[in-house]
Amino acid sequence: MPYISKQAVAEIRKDLRKTFPDFKFSITKDYSTVRIVILEGNIDFGTTDAGINHYYIESHFKNNPKAKNFLCLIRDYAIKDQKVFVEDGDYGIVPTYYITIRIGEWNKPYKFNQ
């Protein structure tokens, strides 16, 4: 069963905040998921509240290279310790943990600092 520890999430949080000091994040843990919400920063994503499918960042943001590069770096930090937990016929590849990336929240829209 996928799972991520509090310590692993704390490392991701530390790395992201150190690498991107101009951005405000909410990085939390659900049982098997690292949840990264970008709350404030100097990149215009074209939205203030959206979920990001980390498998399609390159294609969805191909016309916004700054956002694409930033989100790819976020994804790479989040999955750096992710491995394949199990591979089976019903579920395919199941990772050791999942990641969720969002731009803003329903109650806290992303704040673009120009």
Facing residues of 48 across strands? none
Residues 6 or more apart whose Cβ sits within 8 Å of residue 61: 45, 67, 68, 71
Taking only the tens place, the pLDDT of each residue in 30-43 is 889 999 999 999 99
Residue 29 lies in a domain: yes
pLDDT of res. 89: 72
Residue with tokens 């590069």: 69
Question: The dihedral of CA 88, 76, 37, 104: what is its sign?
Answer: negative
* Residue 86 included in any domain: yes
Containing domain of residue 61, as a range? 6-112
36 lies in some domain: yes
The domain total for the chain is 1
Asked, for residue 1, whether it belongs to a domain, the answer is: no
Chunk the chain into consecutive blocks of 10 residues (it has 114) and report each block's average pLDDT, rounded to whole numbers.
Answer: 89 96 95 94 92 92 96 93 75 84 94 92
CA angle 73, 52, 25 (to 5 degrees): 60
Three-state secondary-structure class, residue 114:
coil
Q: What is the pLDDT of residue 88?
A: 72
